[in-house]
Amino acid sequence: MSLILSADPPEISAISARNRVFWRGPLRAALLYCGLSAGLTVALFTAAALVTPTGRSPVRSEPGPLPGSPWIDIVRPFQIYALSSEFGREPTTFEAQRHREGGGRLDTLTWGNLNSDSTPYLRIALHRVGRESAEDSSFFVQMVRQAALFGAAVTRGGVSDALATRFGTFETADLALDTGQTSTSCLGFRFASDTPALRISGFACGTPARPVDRQTLACTLDRLDLVLSGDDQELGRFFAAAETRRDPRCAPGRNHQASWMDGAAPAPLRGVARKTRSAR
């Protein structure tokens, strides 16, 4: 038995070769087209993600919330400090806060309007320090921070010097407070006591026609009184001891200058003095 091998005729082999060549070209072209299309699609999506459309603002990550203030507002606080001076009898605003962790109390009293050229401005902050740490910074830095609390900026500051009062020596300096509406010449001041732990600071600003001088500020601070100390006997003893060191030049009397705020001389602090003594 013989094995017969069949072979394609030459014409058929030539046709098959031509078909393979024909289909191989389009297949390569199709694969190349698909690859280019996929690459172009990826490039377009990448560009769309990177380029911001016209008329729309780029999305920016917002900063995280600032840490909460350590101070909590006291609802309907009792005014434990009083002051009757050339800036007026009753404060224009009064607020008190309690330290969230340390338990200290911060009383802030203001007179007048800093944006007004016709009236003076006085701001006094009294911090009865509790278990929290008291602010320890330079005079100028403290003034800048305190001014920022009520929307003002310290644009000029002089060299601080000592100011004697019945409570002790205050540090004070000439400053300029700018609110964006007005720029006012003021005296910045601060005082620190270790026993009791008490910090007093603020600003006293006059008018263009009548700036505040250091004697006026000293007498203003001299008339700061404690209305009621409550259970804080150490604070009561501090004000009682300062009572004997009042400056005679600051005592209310016939020659006392009229108030800037209402044009009338303030009355002597008889009621406040009685309350202060009973509180002690």
pLDDT digits (tens, 9 = 90+) for 247-277: 998 876 544 444 544 443 333 333 333 333 3
Query: How high is the pLDDT of residue 29?
Result: 59
How is residue 166 written in tokens? Answer: 């019945």
Query: How high is the pLDDT of residue 36?
Result: 55
Q: Report the DSSP pairing between strands 93-99 and 71-73.
A: antiparallel
Query: How high is the pLDDT of residue 90?
Result: 86
Please list the rounded mean pLDDT of every run of 10 residues in the chain (280 residues).
49 53 55 57 52 43 56 94 85 95 96 90 96 89 95 93 97 96 95 96 93 94 92 95 92 52 38 37
Question: Residue 92 and residue 94: Cα distance in Å, rounded?
Answer: 7
Query: How high is the pLDDT of residue 173?
Result: 97
DSSP state of 249: G
Task: Give CA 76 to chain center in angstroms.
Answer: 23
Query: How high is the pLDDT of residue 257?
Result: 45
Quickly list DSSP for 152-209: -EEEEE---EEEE-SS-EEEEEEEEEE-SS-EEEEEEEEEEETTTTEEEEEEEE--SS
Report helix, strand or coil for 258.
coil
Query: How high is the pLDDT of residue 85?
Result: 78
Report helix, strand or coil for 55.
coil
Domain ranges of the chain: 71-279
Q: Is the pTM of this model over 0.85?
A: no
Question: Residue 87 and residue 206: Cα distance in Å, rounded?
Answer: 9
- The dihedrals phi and psi of 229, each to the nearest 5 degrees, come to -95, -15
